[in-house]
Chain A
Amino acid sequence: MLELKDVAVARSERVLFDGLSLTLAAGDLATVVGPNGAGKTSLLRVVAGLSRAHAGRLHWRGRAIDEGDPVYGRERLYLGHQPGLKSDLSVSENLRFLLQLQGAGFDQGTVAACLAPLGLAGAEHRPVRALSAGQRRRVALARMRLSGCLLWLLDEPFTNLDVDGQALVAGWLDEHLAAGGMAMVASHAPLGTRHPGRRLQVELGA
């Protein structure tokens, strides 16, 4: 469903890599690995639609992805280095906004059920500024799970997470893939997923 054809990625006029082709179908997981500066984040930003590819084409559901594509925008979720939360607003206000922005529904009960295993039960009304970096990451991951998006693009999702949090996210990834979702994950740590679907490894800077 997601297709990359001969994609080249450049940062500040310098080509980081070129000729990357890749196809992700339902249940596929692509892990992006490589040393610092190899272009993992740049690749994810290009696939997300934040930056333009230096060369090559990207297709979603067989159609080229336009700038501000509403279909792709609804079905793709990008989680970058910054969780995108407003520190003055509460956890639940932040989640409500981000979900409505993506065109997903917001249901108080579902949100509470999602926050509980993250150790954030009862924290819905606490302002985000009162949370630790790891807890903020957990809120961003709750949003990922609640979004109902088909394609997850995750840039170092384990940053600031403790061992339990990492295991929980690996479990969510398994569920997502088993339900026919797709994911592209840049991570230095092994993901620890168990889903038997197709695994692709994108090695950059090799």
Chain B
Amino acid sequence: MSGAWTAAGALARRDLRAALRRWGELALPLCFFVIVLTLFPLGLAPERDTLAAIGPGVLWVAALLASLLALETLFRGDMDDGSMEQLVLSPQPLALLALVKALIHWLLSGLPLVLLTPLVAQAFYLPTDALWVLALALLLATPTLSLIGAVAAALTASLRRGAGVLGILVLPLAVPLLVFGARATDLAIQGQSAAGPLYLLAALLALAITLAPLAIAAALRISVD
């Protein structure tokens, strides 16, 4: 089994290195996120009440769309240069390698989004207490989104123009995250306990971590065939 961990570590290092050498691509979804958020106060009346009312929903929708943007590249590079074939053929459990790829993807696209959100949330007059809940909810929801998204990205990896299909596959599955995430933020703004929706987000994450790697592995085998 030690070989599997060595391989998993090697894959994590390779993905991190390759991504950091193309840091411009990492910044792209984050820029998109910030720009979408600044469009709302410009497009609607920049009044405190309006913005505070739509803030949680807008933040969550923008976060979903931004992470969708990052998903397209998750397996594309590996498919194009042939390293996906080598991943599928390796003696290591493919589900473990798939989990590593999804988690590194989250580390590079989901986590920066979580860190950035408390800053941009200021534009929507969110109270400071609610910021913590919002950040925590995003911290629970974005890895789930990366895992669900990886399943869809694996399924569409062999399609030449998979980006559109990817959105159609992922967004409906992301609805529970949006519902619970926005609900948690709303409750926190009203000064109530947001524990309920946060627990549900945590449960979804546990479910995704257990099941998604198997689905990603199966989908990748189909895609390289």
Contact = CB atoms under 8 A, between A and B. Distances in A.
Contacts of A52: 225
Given A50-B225, A71-B91, A96-B10, A101 B86 contact: yes
A98 B86 contact: yes
Contact of A103 (B17, B83, B92): B92
A81 B82 contact: yes
A50 B14 contact: no
B86 A88 contact: no
A16 to B, nearest CB: 15
A110 interface: no
Interface string B62-95: 0000000000000001001111011111111110
Given A80-B85, A82-B82, A85-B83, A102 B90 contact: yes
Contacts of A85: 81-83
A62 to B, nearest CB: 18
Given A88-B17, A100-B10, A73 B83 contact: no
A interface: dominant SS: loop
Chain B contact patch, size range: 20 to 34
Nearest to B86: A84
B90 A78 contact: no
Interface residues of A, number: 33
Q: What are the 4 A-B residue pairs with the smallest beta carbon separation, nearest first?
A: A82-B82, A73-B91, A100-B10, A84-B82
A89 B82 CA distance: 15
A97 B10 contact: yes
A93 B20 CA distance: 14
A71 B3 CA distance: 12
Contacts, number: 85
Interface string B1-30: 001001101110110011001100000000
Interface in A84-136: 84-89, 93, 96-98, 100-103
A87 B81 contact: yes
A103 B225 contact: no
Contact of B91 (A70, A81, A83): A70
B10 A73 contact: no
A101 B92 contact: yes
A162 interface: no
B7 A100 contact: yes
Contacts of B21: 88-89
29 contacts: A49-B88, A49-B89, A50-B85, A50-B88, A50-B89, A50-B224, A67-B221, A69-B91, A73-B89, A73-B91, A74-B91, A78-B85, A82-B80, A82-B82, A83-B82, A84-B82, A85-B81, A85-B82, A85-B83, A86-B77, A88-B18, A88-B21, A88-B22, A89-B17, A96-B10, A97-B10, A100-B9, A101-B86, A102-B91
